[in-house]
Amino acid sequence: MVLSIAVAATLCGMKGYKAMAGWAQDLGQKAHERLGCRRVDGKYVVPSESIIRDVLTPPDHGRIETRIPRPISKP
């Protein structure tokens, strides 16, 4: 869903996460449904700017590796 919003927003000239989120928020419920937004209490909900940013930002592999414990080697 985030990728469909990002692609559609970009095709409509939006640049940046804030612009993408605002663009998606301004759409109607039918468009939210078509973009695959989740449904909460009978309404389709657009992901927040931070969710869009987190999904579209590549991970920092160095940071991830420092947080994953190394396996204990057997002697």
pLDDT tens for each residue of the chain, 75 residues long: 999 999 999 999 999 999 999 999 999 999 999 999 999 999 999 999 999 999 998 877 666 666 666 666 666
The DSSP secondary-structure symbol of 36 reads T
pLDDT for res 73 = 67
pLDDT for res 59 = 76
pLDDT for res 47 = 96
* Sign for the pseudo-dihedral over CA of 53, 17, 22, 34: negative
